[in-house]
Amino acid sequence: MHFVVCLKQVPDTSEVRIDPITNTLMREGVPSIINPYDAHGLEEAIRLKEKVGGKVTIVSMGPPQAKEALKKAMTFGADRAILLSDRAFGGSDSLATAYILSSAIQKIQETDPIDLVFAGKEAIDGDTAQTGPGIAQRLGFPQLTYAIKIQELTETTVTVERKTESGRQIVQAQLPALITVEKELNDLRYASLPNMMKAAAYEPEVWDVKSLSFDTKKMGLKGSPTSVSRIFAPPGRSGGEIMDGTKDPAATAATVVQKLFQQNIIMVNPLAKGGKS
């Protein structure tokens, strides 16, 4: 079977800081990582390949240095990595990004039919969760989002456990399909030495705007219906009351609890025995 994994190199947002003086985003020195959710998609693809045989192809869109993320991804046991990189792609919103990625996947499919496409449920820098479904729609594949378990994979179907607010939905889809994954899906492996050596010698393929029959009106800034009009710092929260609980911890704890009841922040259940008189 042929598994394709969509993978994005992202800034490690847990390292992104706001400059306290200028109130702007400090991006210098922020390391780039593989989007954590995508890493779990890659892990699942490799597990399935190990189980049923086949190969894993990684597709990513990004600047030339995103090659590093692809080389890193290769250390986990993927077979092929393609970076879509061109200035014409820059500034794409999720609609345009899904167009570019789906075009590339279509091209891969021409020579190498695809059974499953994996993507993270969202990227941690944008948090939109839109690119995966956008790719599925353009490819005409069923989409299964928020997957926490692959229950079964047959020649023609995949059965997935999806997470929703009210419970877990078990869904079966016909192949080829696209799955976006939660971190609960699996535990990441460590790279094996042979794969690390293989990856060190591997050079990801780079496709630019000329590699595909792209409609350039659908990509980049001009192909993106949405644009940022303003950014600002999130409204701060003003501090409340600070209490010193070092001298008499029990009394301080009791005071706080009492205040919570007095302000009706926590309410006594009226049905409780001997309710408030």
Partner 1 sequence: MTVAVDKTKCIGCGACVVECPIEALDLIDGLAVVNPQKCNDNGKCVIVCPTNALSLPNQPDQPKQALDPEAGSKFDLKEPLPDTVKDYAQDNQKKAISAQVTPVAGGDVWSGVWVIIEYSNGKVAPVSWELLGEGRKLADSIGCGLCGVITGYQVDSVIPEAFAYGAEKVYVVDHFALKDYRTEPYAEAITSLVTKYQPEIILMGATSMGRDVFPAIATRVQTGLTADCTVLGIDPETKLLQQTRPAFGGNIMATILCRTSRPQMATVRPRVMAMPERVEGREGELIHEEISFDETTIRTKVLEFISSDAKSAFLDKAEIIVAVGLGIAAKRNMVLAEELAEVLGATIAGSRGAVEAGWLTHDQQVGQSGTTVRPKIYIAIGISGAIQHLVGMETSDFIIAINNDPEASILKVANYGIVGDLFQIVPAMTAEFKKRLQHGVAN
CB nearer partner 1, residue 27 or residue 50? 27
**Omega of the bond leading into 176 within 30 degrees of 0 (cis):** yes
CB nearer partner 1, residue 110 or residue 244? 244
Helix axes 193-201, 67-74, angle to 10 degrees: 150
User: Phi and psi of 157, rounded to 5°?
Assistant: -135, 160
Tell the burial category of 102 from Cβ atoms under 10 Å away from its Cβ (0-12, 13-18, 19+).
buried
CB nearer partner 1, residue 81 or residue 124? 124
Which amino acid is it at 154? T
As measured in angstroms, the least distance from the Cβ of 155 to partner 1 is 15
As measured in angstroms, the least distance from the Cβ of 258 to partner 1 is 7
As measured in angstroms, the least distance from the Cβ of 198 to partner 1 is 28
As measured in angstroms, the least distance from the Cβ of 212 to partner 1 is 19
CB nearer partner 1, residue 159 or residue 211? 159
CB nearer partner 1, residue 111 or residue 262? 262
Q: Which residues contact 10 (CB under 8 A, 6 or more apart)?
A: 32, 33, 34, 35, 123, 124, 125
| Distance between CA atoms of residues 262 and 53, nearest Å | 64
Taking the chain, what is the end-to-end CA distance rounded to the nearest angstrom?
A: 70
As measured in angstroms, the least distance from the Cβ of 201 to partner 1 is 26
Which amino acid is it at 239? G
